[in-house]
Amino acid sequence: MYFNSAYLDNLLEDFHDQDRALIVGSCGVYRLSSHPEMSTYRPKGRLDFQLLYIASGTAHFYFTEEDDMAVAAGHMVFYRPKEMQKYIYYGAEKPEVYWVHFTGSDASDMMRHYGIMDDIHVINTGTSLGYANIFRQMIQELQRRQEDFEELLALLLKQLFISIRRQMLKGDKWKNVFPDNEMENAIQYFNNHYHQEINIKEYAVSKGMSVSWFIRHFKQYTGTTPMQYIVSLRMTNAQVLLETTNYNVTEIGNMIGYDNPLYFSRIFRKQKGISPSEYRKRR
């Protein structure tokens, strides 16, 4: 099981705050594969709001005590203060779930403003690396606690809601145009194998798809091409390794899928604007 989280003032307790407009209290990510099960049950709910994003796999939610709703990748789940919270993750279904808790005097109005009415618990938003990146930024900001981090966290949360709203406005115009399962399987495969050599043509053919069809519909589904998605995964993980480990640039390049350190540095500079070595020095 992989787990990474951050808490405001390092306090695990939830809280209700009406003195400030919007406060992110905690955020994190769970990824289960070999771990058999992880469950959460809060019969009286929490004092704050919670948003969960199912990035891959499936998670099970109970909005009543008995009803099991299996929520697949590409959905957001919402809880309001004092609503019962009961959900279960099973390792066999390989869920990856990002979450954020927030409160504040503007929290309710913000959700309604972006189309999340009080009776909505689940929204189909599609899977997107953009969602995951926003959550990762929130986790890092709350862990580092640099100057003005609380304000930036509120802005990142609003960015997430804007992204959700835009997807809701698209409606179902892509529904049945392409099989969601194929795109979700590709995303899962890329997340598991990004550090290895991936041939997009070979992958598409192995799944019975033409290359052009796969690339076109993958971009519709995620907003990016398959190779751009893979490169973004590699660069995100390179950032984490540069910030949190002592591996040198060559070793990090090898770990994320680049045998040639010069090529890795060139791609990193193109994506981030600075070289890996410069990035590590700044951090």
Residue range 24-48: mean pLDDT, rounded: 91
pLDDT band for 36, please (50, 70, 90 cuts): confident
pLDDT band for 207, please (50, 70, 90 cuts): confident
CA distance 86 to 248: 43
Q: What percent of the chain has pLDDT over 70?
A: 96
- pLDDT digit string (tens) for 126-158? 888 889 999 999 999 999 999 999 999 999 999
Which pTM value belongs to this model?
0.64
pLDDT band for 171, please (50, 70, 90 cuts): low
What are the structural domains, with CATH classification, of the chain?
2-170 (2.60.120.280), 180-282 (1.10.10.60)
3-state secondary structure the chain: CEEEEEEHHHCCCCCCCCCCCCEEEEEEEEECCCCCEEEEEECCCCCCEEEEEEEECEEEECCCCCCCEEEECCEEEEECCCCCEEEEEEHHHCCEEEEEEEECCCHHHHHHHCCCCCCCCEEECCCCHHHHHHHHHHHHHHHHCCCCHHHHHHHHHHHHHHHHHHHHHHCCCCCCCCCHHHHHHHHHHHHHHCCCCCCHHHHHHHCCCCHHHHHHHHHHHHCCCHHHHHHHHHHHHHHHHHHHCCCCHHHHHHHHCCCCHHHHHHHHHHHHCCCHHHHHHHC
Residue 183 one-letter amino acid: M
Residue 283 in tokens = 């951090």
Q: Which residue has the tokens 């992958």?
A: 203
Task: Give the residue from 260, 263, 270, 254 showing the smallest Cα distance to 196.
Answer: 254
Q: Cβ of 101: how many Cβ atoms within 10 Å?
A: 21
Residue range 181-195: mean pLDDT, rounded: 88
175 conformational bin, left if phi > 0, alpha if psi -120 to 50, beta if neither: beta
Task: Give the residue from 37, 127, 131 showing the smallest Cα distance to 87.
Answer: 37
Residue range 218-240: mean pLDDT, rounded: 90
pLDDT band for 174, please (50, 70, 90 cuts): very low
Q: Which residues share a beta bridge with 85?
A: 42
So what's the pLDDT on residue 59? 95
Indicate the average pLDDT of the chain: 90
- pLDDT digit string (tens) for 236-248? 899 989 988 899 9
So what's the pLDDT on residue 167? 83
Q: CB under 8 Å to 271, separation ≥6 — which residues? A: 231, 232, 235
**Residue 1: pLDDT over 80:** no
